[in-house]
């Protein structure tokens, strides 16, 4: 029998176990650390997988990330025969879309400023910019960036996007490659980061990038904390280059007590909750992928290791 090991928290693990029992009873589901004979394990699902864990399973064929991102894995240390598969999960996409819409609308409608006014007991109207005059720029046109742009469409914003390879999306002006980044930044009144964290994208939202944004631009970071140079963001806020930010991710996570992001009224900070991996949705995605493997088909979400995302 093919064995599958889930390594995550025990409560979710039991939910995964129940779903496997119902929908894939032919697959031998094992909840770490009760992994049985390690030689029987073909598949492992985990948020993180240090090399000692992978080494426990000599016949491992695939490692499934329990998230959309794979930057938490050490790609260099992955044995050659192990495929890395990220989660392309409708549940994660829905969570990100919900959060991105909240964040873009909150920044578009100056909510951080109004919250500050409220705390100070001030009743003050501010000029309202119509959505048609506001440009939203999305970094990353993958599963998540594309879904966010599609959901933003009906609000009437001017939409722009940036990716590594060239893309054509209805209603979105697309830019690509290093040469296209400046054009995107110059058009981003609201900049949304939905990039994967790789050596090429680490620190990409830095002092130079802030200087290329329209004055008073706003930032939404839904990628990883490492995309933003946090001290540069604070400087850009102080200089007025950036007027407000919604950050779901930070570096490190959790941010240490007393970090300036906690108390800065220009920042709305949440603890990496924009999208959560729900067993109901994620386990079904993984089961569908195991069926593909059993049928000799390639995995959906297979990560090319040389690309890193
Ligand atoms: P994806 O489908 O792999 O898409 C990644 C996009 O980024 C692609 O459009 C890719 O370009 C682009 N990209 C990668 N490197 C680039 C570079 N050097 N220059 C320009 N564009 C580049 O990933 P996804 O599923 O949309 O997820 C994106 C990220 O969201 C994840 O990696 C994770 O970090 C983050 N995330 C956060 C949360 C949260 O709760 N906050 C939840 C889930 C995911 P190409 O199209 O040309 O390949
Ligand atoms: C969460 O951040 C994910 O990568 O799914």
pLDDT in tens, 282-295: 999 999 999 999 99
Distance CA(206)–CA(279), nearest Å, equals: 36
pTM score, two decimals?
Answer: 0.97
DSSP letter string, 141-161:
-SHHHHHHHHHHGGGT-EEEE
Q: Render pLDDT for 52-84 as a digit per residue (tens, 0 to 9).
A: 989 999 999 999 999 999 999 999 989 999 999
Ligand 1 in contact with 140 (CB < 6 A)? yes
Residue nearest to atom 1 of ligand 2 (CA): 67
CA atoms 29, 34, 38, 43: torsion sign: positive
The mean predicted confidence, pLDDT, of the chain is 97
State how far Cα 168 lies from the chain centre: 22
Overall size of the chain counted in residues: 309
Q: Are 160 and 184 in contact (CB under 8 A)?
A: yes
Distance CA(47)–CA(63), nearest Å, equals: 10
- pLDDT number for residue 2: 87
Q: Kindly state the average pLDDT of the residues 105-109.
A: 98
Closest CA to 264 of 119, 137, 123, 122: 119
Mutate to test the pocket of ligand 1, among 69, 196, 220 (most ligand atoms within 8 A of CB): 196
Q: Which two tokens stand for residue 112?
A: 């951080």
Distance CA(184)–CA(159), nearest Å, equals: 10
Of 272, 278, 284, 292, catalytic:
272
Ligand 1 in contact with 223 (CB < 6 A)? yes
Q: Are 66 and 282 in contact (CB under 8 A)?
A: yes
Distance CA(136)–CA(189), nearest Å, equals: 6
Distance CA(109)–CA(45), nearest Å, equals: 41
Give yes or no: 224 in active site: yes
Q: Render pLDDT for 81-99 as a digit per residue (tens, 0 to 9).
A: 999 999 999 999 999 999 9
pLDDT band at 1 (very low <50, low <70, confident <90, very high): low
- pLDDT number for residue 50: 87
E strand or H helix at 112: helix 111-119
């Amino acid at each position: 029998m093919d064995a599958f090991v889930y390594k995550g928290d025990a409560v979710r693990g039991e939910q995964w176990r129940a779903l496997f029992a119902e929908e894939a009873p032919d697959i031998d589901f094992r909840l770490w650390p009760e992994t049985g004979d390690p030689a029987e394990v073909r598949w492992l699902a985990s948020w993180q997988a240090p090399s000692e864990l992978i080494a426990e399973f000599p016949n491992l064929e695939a490692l499934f990330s329990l998230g959309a991102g794979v930057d938490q894995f050490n790609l260099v240390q992955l044995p050659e025969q192990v495929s890395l598969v990220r989660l392309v999960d409708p549940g994660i996409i829905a969570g990100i879309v919900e959060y991105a819409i909240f964040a873009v609308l909150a920044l578009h409608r100056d909510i951080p400023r109004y919250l500050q006014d409220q705390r100070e007991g001030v009743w003050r109207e501010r000029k309202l910019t119509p959505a048609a005059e506001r440009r939203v720029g999305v970094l990353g046109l993958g599963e998540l960036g594309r879904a966010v742009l599609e959901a933003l469409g009906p609000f009437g914003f001017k939409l722009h996007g940036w990716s590594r390879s060239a893309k054509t999306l209805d209603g979105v002006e697309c830019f690509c490659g290093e040469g296209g980044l400046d054009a995107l930044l110059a058009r981003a009144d609201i900049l949304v980061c939905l990039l994967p964290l790789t050596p090429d994208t680490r620190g990409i939202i830095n002092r130079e990038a802030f200087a290329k944004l329209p004055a008073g631009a706003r930032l939404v970071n839904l990628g990883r904390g490492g995309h933003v140079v946090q001290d540069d963001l604070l400087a850009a806020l102080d200089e007025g280059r950036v007027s407000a930010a919604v950050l779901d991710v930070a570096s490190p996570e959790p941010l240490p007590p007393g970090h300036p992001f906690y108390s800065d009224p220009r920042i709305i900070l949440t603890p990496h909750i924009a999208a959560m991996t729900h067993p109901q949705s994620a386990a079904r995605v993984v089961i569908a992928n195991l069926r593909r493997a059993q049928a000799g088909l390639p995995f959906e979400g297979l990560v090319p290791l040389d690309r890193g995302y």
